[in-house]
Amino acid sequence: MHVVVVGGGIVGLSCAHALAERGAAVTVCEAGTLGGGSTARAAGGIRTQFSTRVNVELSLASLPVWESFEERFGVDIAYNRPGYLFLAREDDTAAAFGDQVTMQRACGGESELLSPEELRKRWPHVRSEQFVAATYSPLDGFADPYLALQGYATAARETGVDVRTKTPVEEIDRIGSDGESPRFRVETPSETLEADFVVNAAGAWAARVGAMVDLDLPISPRRRQVTVVEPESTLAESEPLTIDLDTGSYFRPERDGQALVGGQFDEKDSDVDPDRFSESMDLDWAVTAVERAADCADYFGPETRIVRGWAGLYAVTPDNHAIVEESAPGVVTAAGFSGHGFQHAPATGRVVAELCLDGEASHVDVSALSSSRFEAGEAIEERNVA
């Protein structure tokens, strides 16, 4: 069986690696450079604290790979697990925390619900008087997305995957009916590839790839920014990645005492053309991001110095959940992760291999991630968006 994977980000490479490990011949077609769309500009978060079971299960199924990445792939991905700390200012946000912690723990997570007093005792730099509740999980952390991408790329090639960069897919034609092989011709500028399966892991370009096989995928590219700052007081590497859920602000420790600060609160960062968007950080956005972080924790203030920053792409669905399914015979979609693709890549790769080779997923139940949920009015909203 030959599978063409469209997209050379970490999701596409994880899919390719998992397929090749199970004996499939795999070609990855990446229009630009590996990870150039989203992965290389991601914040690298890896967490189990989601508000829906399917996202929690994808995280838990991916954790063993992140925990043993250097042993498996021979690459140190700077994996740091100080936990994630979610903060609630509003009573309705806090009320949802209780049910989420119960669900997360039932799935095998280790999250806990904290009062403002417990928050103050454990993390005195957080302005606990601003918050009515918090949750924390020691399973959560972050890693370097670029290093992880390189690990997957090397492993995929060593497993026999033909990884092609600067190879855009221009057209996909179905040439065989069910039962006939190959099913598709995949047109690239230099060659026509024949494939039994096509995996759409094109991230922010996934809707365009879907349209080549007459699929209408509700996946939109969104611009997201992040800045690295020198805070007024040093963030220890043991400090958790902290998310002020009601304002959309977050921060985490970076190397050498610096901090990475971000958030989703800029209306200008709505739908964009993924081929023409600014990869540079907007200074006014960075100032706002630091101000919001300062309202959350006393690490930040007027003397905080903005060092650098960048912008990348999220591939977003209306309910902030991925689409992972066989969208049409021979066409598997793994896209629209809404900022969670990096952390869910290991489990997604295995699920996609199962969809292609077994006809159904068994590693994680991804039935809730079918694109049909939107037309059926069964969207599953992710509340813990960051």
Question: 65 lies in a domain?
Answer: no
Structural domain that includes position 345? 2-44+146-218+319-375
Full 3-state SS string of the chain: CEEEEECCCHHHHHHHHHHHHCCCEEEEECCCCCCCCCHHHCCCEECCCCCCHHHHHHHHHHHHHHHCHHHHHCCCCCCECCCEEEEECCHHHHHHHHHHHHHHHHHCCCCEEECHHHHHHHCCCECHHHCCEEEEECCCEECCHHHHHHHHHHHHHHCCCEEECCCCCCEEEECCCCCCCCCEEEECCCCEEEECEEEECCHHHHHHHHHCCCCCCCCEEEEEEEEEEECCCCCCCCCCEEEECCCCEEEEECHHHCEEEEECCCCCCCECECCECCCCCCHHHHHHHHHHHHHHECCCCCCCEEEEEEEEEEEECCCCCCEEEEEECCEEEEECCCCCHHHHHHHHHHHHHHHHHCCCCCCCCCHHHCCHHHHCCCCCCCCCCC
Do 130 and 247 lie in a common domain? yes
Q: Which of 316, 342, 359 is the last residue of a domain?
A: 316
Contact 263, 281 (CB under 8 A): no
In a domain, 273, yes or no: yes
Whether residues 210 and 260 fall in one domain: no
Sequence-ordered list of residues with C-beta below 8 angstroms from that of 255, at least 6 positions apart, any chain: none
The per-residue pLDDT for 256 is 86
Q: What is the average per-residue pLDDT within 35-41?
A: 86
**264-281 pLDDT per residue, tens:** 876 555 678 998 889 999
CA-to-CA distance for 350 and 71, rounded, in angstroms? 18
Q: Among residues of the chain, what percentage have pLDDT more than 90?
A: 87
Is the pLDDT at 178 greater than 70, yes or no?
no
Strand partners, 2: 25
- For residue 39, being part of any structural domain is answered with yes
Within-domain flag for 166: yes
> What pTM was estimated for this model as a whole?
0.94
pLDDT at 380 over 90: no
**22 and 129 in one domain?**
no
Query: Are 257 and 235 in contact, with CB atoms under 8 Å apart?
Result: yes
Domain shared by 91 and 150, yes or no:
no
Domain CATH code at residue 255:
3.30.9.10
121 lies in the same domain as 100: yes
Residue 313, Ramachandran bin (φ over 0: left; ψ between -120 and 50: alpha; else beta): beta
Structure-block tokens of residue 336: 């629209």
- Whether the upstream peptide bond of residue 64 has omega within 30° of 0, thus cis, is no
Is 229 in the same domain as 214? no
* Residue 55 confidence (pLDDT): 97
Residue where one domain finishes, among candidates 273, 295, 316: 316
CA distances 96 to 50, 245, 383, Å, are: 11, 12, 9
* Rounded alpha-carbon distances, angstroms, from residue 226 to 142, 248, 286: 15, 12, 8
Same domain, 301 and 343: no
| Encoded amino acid at 125, one letter | H
14: CATH: 3.50.50.60
Tokens representing residue 363 in the block: 């590693």
Q: Which of 316, 335, 354 is the last residue of a domain?
A: 316
Compare 79 and 180 and report the one with higher pLDDT: 79
What confidence tens digit (pLDDT) does each residue in 281-299 have?
Answer: 999 999 999 999 999 999 9
Residue 248 sits in the same domain as residue 299:
yes
Strands 84-88 and 241-244, how do they pair? parallel
Residues 259, 358, single domain; the answer is no
Q: Are residues 351 and 280 in the same domain?
A: no
Question: Average pLDDT of 145-149?
Answer: 96
Q: Does 108 reside within a domain?
A: yes
Nearest-5° angle of CA 312, CA 317, CA 321? 100
In this structure, is residue 56 part of a structural domain? no
- The answer to whether residue 19 sits within a structural domain is yes
Residue 322 to residue 336: CA distance in whole angstroms: 4
| Position 29 in a domain | yes
Residue, of 237 and 25, whose pLDDT is higher: 25
Mean pLDDT computed over 242-265: 92
Number of independent structural domains in the chain: 2
* Same domain membership, residue 236 and residue 133: yes
Same-domain check for residues 177 and 211: yes
